[in-house]
Structure 1
Amino acid sequence: MSKRVLITGAAGFIGAALAGQLLARGDSVIGIDNCNDYYDPALKQARLARLREAAGDFTFHQLDFADMDALTAALDGDRFDAIVHLGAQAGVRYSLENPAAYVQSNLVGHANMLEVARHREVAHMVYASSSSVYGGNHKLPFSVDDRADHPVSLYAATKKANELMSETYAHLYRIPLTGLRFFTVYGPWGRPDMALWIFTGKILAGTPIPVFNKGEMWRDFTFIDDIIAGVIASLDHPPADDGAVKAGGSAKPHAIYNIGNHRSEKLTRVIELLEDSCGAKATIDWQPMQQGDVTRTYADIDAIQRDLGYQPRTSIDEGIPRFVDWYKDYHQL
């Protein structure tokens, strides 16, 4: 049975890819995005153009979901069954420069979307959390059962706060909620502030690439197609609310999952694959460790595999060349 789904961040990397897949399977999509200039708005407009050209029922509202009056007015009289709340101010390092943007979008905005879910009595809201909530956790791989109360950036703190707010709403109002802790997502139509995009552009241009912590960095790189498969599986399987009282309190319809590739790849290996795909050697500009950053991410995906059958299929050996091919095509190189 088809759904009508409200997606925030619909002009973003993950949001646009999700909207495209939902439209392709026959769902209707209402998209929301403020299309700000954190990175090139032309890329966001290009993603939206592809969605408007696709077959299916797609409606878009350009607005800031942190503005409750604008959000309420845009959605007045419209019906939707579920919400996928992906919109947020992204970026760990930028949170050091512009903390107010994170408070407004990630805290006020998330609270607004919880209120929309509450008052519209939606069947399920999936929302974006982040692997950054694990902070400097030294236990590997990161498990959803690990403590995540020592964030090392404001961005990470806002994402952990989103999980806590959601826990409260699930408890008080029995709204089915699922939080997804995304690990480094990459692929076609990605974000220009991410390392793969930056490195590819600089390698092709013959300019030095900034590599932090002497290259002693590892990331769980997850291809966009695998991420979307996991988001849709989450959307289609809201957590149950059995109302039973369990140890530590009442059972709440709130699930949190890691969604990653379950492999931690060293950055220097990623650079080698980029060099092969670009057909050029990288010049390295060695940089010290950045404040607010972590040396390693690595997803334990046992929970989402068990509950939703999630299984990432794309290795970096396949995914990185696909990204570089898209990058060259997009920039007409």
Structure 2
Amino acid sequence: MVPAPKHAGAPLTDSDLADAPLPDALSGHWVDTRAPLWLRPYLKLARMERPIGWWLLLLPCWWAAGLAAIAGGRPFPDPWHCLLFLIGAIVMRAAGSTFNDIVDRKLDAQVARTRGRPLPSGQVTARAAAVFMTGLALVGLLILVQFNRFTIVLGIASLAIVAVYPFMKRITNMPQFVLGLAFSWGGLVGWAAVFGRLDAPAYLIYAAAVVWTIGYDTIYAMQDIEDDVIAGIKSSARYFGDWTREAVALCFALAVGFAGLATWFAGGGIVAWSGVLAFALHLGWQVSRIKGATSPVALRIFRSNQYAGLLLAAGFALDALTRAAI
């Protein structure tokens, strides 16, 4: 809870701001309840109390790792790679979010959901945030160099998309497409880490992740439509308007189609296809719920994509295990 000021109209102190959970944060998260007060603004810059972001960055990595295990006849995705992907997703999501907040701090101050973030609220200076981001990026580099040379170059190449994304909401009605290009990069990296090259399944699972990202981030953007209009922020939710449900349905249908093609080209069996089906059913459930969804409902539907993505990742991993056991 936000501590009550000592008297009506009194400004919130730095301690009050650090204690206050952000609107889209998990309730009662350890960042808001147990972390040291001085550290909380940096943990919030890193989105640690909103883990859905790093899950969505991680899952395409695990999808590709599972497909690579199927195609390579391995009994399971490489555990070391999957651990590196997990750590890398948390660290690089934190670095990317910090960069995004540095660029967007003035816009964030105009949106109800984001004006309490560390930068627009003044808890952290832009310079301190830049130093924090640099440290995170160096940790990410240490993780990246554990892979083969092709994967290292591929990972570095993603930074160009990450760098331009924060500016897209000022330029295009579909910044979610650029976000998809960045957040889905793991679909390429997960495959390259095993084979040292890119093949059809990698490109197809990357495409699946891109359109999936457009779909789920459109649902996320439904929370901010009114404030975005006032602030002049562009988004797919604003662009699609009354056709948002149909647009999300199309994105999700394409995601399932590309995931199915990736499964086919990788040589996936019935368990992998069961994962694709479970993924499709979950996405269909989301589409059935978004018409006229309030902000809290839209946020819950958005967060549920963690489970949709895990269903697909589990299908690929279990298919590799099942085929190896036969």
TM bin, normalised by shorter chain, reads under 0.3
Scaled by the length of structure 1, the TM-score of the pair is: 0.23
Higher helix share: 2
Structure ranking higher on relative contact order (CA contacts 8 Å, 6+ apart): 2
